[in-house]
Structure 1
């Protein structure tokens, strides 16, 4: 499943008491189908807000957001929730795994609302875990896995329903350098070999180097792209 994303004149404003906070200002951004985009910028620049808008976790104050030509900014909360479940895979800095469930059960969670049988859900979860290199860890619980392995389980959970694109918020922020490189190798492979469109927020230049394009936010405004990431070995 391919995916293109277009933001046109998107702004986001919050009201904090009597104070108006302009988090994003007239952002124009296009993410091509199969692109791996890294968003960088200082803390408070609006990166996570922009990521939340693209992923349908929030709605803009003004402007339009299209995913595969669908205006997601016009969807109701209920419609957005349904759209997210079908279209977006989320990967966060902290893995958000259920501690009492095995890796297989954690990965199968997004499929519980689908009409498929348990055996079919488990098979899809197995395939996702094989893809991220954890075929031998199906029955392990999060406390029995390293940080890098837990993030791989989280990635398997994000891709198990075959979403149109992946949203990654600091996916290596809680990992050591070796584990971070393994996770970024995996994300790059999902992009290159499986055609997944990826939008990632990161503070890490090494992680950004895996992307096909890097853009910067500063004080709510999108700066000119700095070019393609070169990738790391």
Structure 2
């Protein structure tokens, strides 16, 4: 595998059992994501976009095939090793922010770092840097209820990048926002990609959001069609 490839899916199948029926999401899917890329994944509802994202994040495992990250197989890791790999390499951004309502912005962003051996001083510096990156260093003490939807999503982005992951996985990150706020969030993701070299995979139903990515992959019936931008 080329050194430029971050993710490599080889002949991946994913099946679910529903009652007596076996449902196939993917059958022999092949896909590569290069380091530093920004990929938007689009497709009809139920096409498996979120399942794929979960597979890339090690939340879901394939029924068969190989999934490699930076030349390391992750489809055969134990749950414990997979959790450690995920904490070291992946940042998740969701549609509904998933902030802890009883914690202020600083404490929400700090959460992933509590699983590390960092000193409190180093954690504080990391959190301040992440909040500054998303333009919210002056809102560190604000609670989620005191912030707009766009600001809450910025806090969620700061939380996703605070541990300096190699890959950001975004599931409809602007689906709950108005157009202007959505564009601001997408510009932040674009900045993380262009200026900080973060590899980003974003699931979206919005063609306007997909335009911020370098490539768009259309998922249909378990297959991708790459559209160069």
How many residue pairs match? The answer is: 226
User: What is the alpha-carbon distance in structure 2 between the residues aligned to residue 67 and residue 173 of structure 1?
Assistant: 28
Structure 1 counterpart of 2:79: 77
Q: Name the CA distance, whole Å, in 2 between partners of 1:205 and 1:90.
A: 21
Counterpart of 1:31 (choices 11, 30, 33) is 33
Question: 1:36-115 to 2 correspondence within 5 Å?
Answer: 36-115=38-117
RMSD: 1.0
Report the counterpart of residue 123 of structure 1 in structure 2: 125
User: Which residue of the other structure, out of 139, 142, 160, is the alignment partner of 1:137?
Assistant: 139
Q: Does the 8 Å contact 1:47/1:201 carry over to 2? A: yes
* TM, length-normalised to structure 2: 0.97
Segments of structure 1 that go 5 or more residues without pairing to the other structure are 229-233
In 2, Cα distance between the equivalents of 1:138 and 1:123?
12
Question: Where does structure 2 lack aligned partners over 5 or more consecutive residues?
Answer: none
SS at the partner of 1:214?
A: strand
Structure 1 residue 219, shift from structure 2 partner: 2.2
Partner of 2:150: 148
Partner of 1:231: none
